[in-house]
Amino acid sequence: MAIEPATKSDQEKMGMALGKLSDEDPTFRIKSNFETGQTIISGMGELQLEVLVDRMKREFGVEAATGAPQVAYKETIKKIAQGEGKYIRQTGGRGQYGHCLLRVEPKGRGEGFEFKSEVRGGAIPSEFISPIEKGVKEKLENGILAGFPMVDMLVAVYDGSFHEVDSSEIAFKIAGSLAVEEAARRADMVLLEPIMKIEVSTPEEFMGDVIGDLSSKRAQIQGTEKRGTMTVIVGVAPLAELSGYATKLRSISQGRASYYMEPSHYEEVPKNIAEQIVAKSGKTPQI
């Protein structure tokens, strides 16, 4: 569950209150999501969290809004492509000139970002390679497809040109940004979503309903096992589909089932769902 202070004055009080509540209850956890900027609280279920938020208001005087956590989508590419960036301005006196060609290549899931220079023969002076890299990184951090960070890709600058007088760091930084956007749009961009490992412990008589509900949430059931009188269902499911799951599980199991989930990995978002996310972002569709 995401939690945000109602006002700036509530922010410091909220931090102290969450810390004290966490000390009292070891199942209550707090973490910051640096990708979305949200404070995320978790525990044994939504009911427990609702009680703790109410206590925070009554005992500590903290007003806070709660909601589903934002989903930290990411972007990546699926094929190799080239792009060219030119930034040339002439407005009397010294102008601006930056020009580079680069290539983008997909990397394995979780391998991150890599930048390298393959420039030979002084086509681009060495002092302008770092500004190109900065322009590339800034563009990728802000996303191209839907505004989410781009990951798991190699960017290699391999050619370009410069002007003895007009070339500058800022011109090559802009050229790098333009080139990587052009290349990425040619490289079959896709969205990635966080996948959670989930374990549901339920009485046998509710197992069918629980599995059916999980399947409707794009979950992949990996197996079941008996633990005493309970059946444990193990699988993975997209985080985006699990908002409000505690309430739904309580409803279909008469309050007798419980669940635990933790981050697992990232996977490509199905095309029809990705199109909806891109449309909501307001970004220009890829070419």
Structure tokens at 172: 């090559």
Question: What is the DSSP code string of 10-29?
Answer: HHHHHHHHHHHHHHH-TT-E
Domains, the chain: 1-69 (3.30.70.870), 75-187 (3.30.230.10), 193-287 (3.30.70.240)
For 198, phi then psi, to 5°, come to -130, 140
Confidence band (pLDDT; 50, 70, 90) for 94?
confident
- SS3 state of residue 229: coil
Between β-strands 81-89 and 38-42, what pairing exists: parallel, antiparallel or unpaired?
Answer: unpaired
Q: Is the dihedral of CA 263, 268, 270, 271 positive or negative?
A: positive
- Say whether pLDDT at 109 is over 70: yes
pLDDT value at 282 more than 50: yes
Residue percentage of the chain with pLDDT more than 90: 67
Q: What does the alpha-carbon distance between residue 225 and residue 59 come to, in Å, rounded to a whole number?
A: 42
Inform me whether the pLDDT recorded for 165 exceeds 70.
yes
The predicted pLDDT at position 45 comes to 62
pLDDT in tens, 239-254: 899 888 888 999 999 9
- Contact call for residues 61 and 13 (beta carbons, < 8 A): yes
Mean pLDDT of 253-267: 91
Residue 92 has pLDDT above 80, yes or no: no
pTM: predicted TM-score of the whole model, two decimal places: 0.79
Q: Is the pLDDT of residue 268 over 90?
A: yes
Does residue 29 have a pLDDT over 90?
no
Confidence of residue 218 (pLDDT cuts 50, 70, 90): very high
Report, as an integer, the average pLDDT of 138-148.
94
Q: Which has the closest alpha carbon to 62: 15, 27, 22, 109?
A: 15
State the DSSP string of 91-144: SSSS-EEEEEEEEEEE--TT--EEEEE---TTSS-GGGHHHHHHHHHHHHHT-S
Tokens found for residue 139:
């563009």
Measured between alpha carbons, how far is 236 from 263 in angstroms, rounded to an integer? 9
pLDDT value for 206: 97
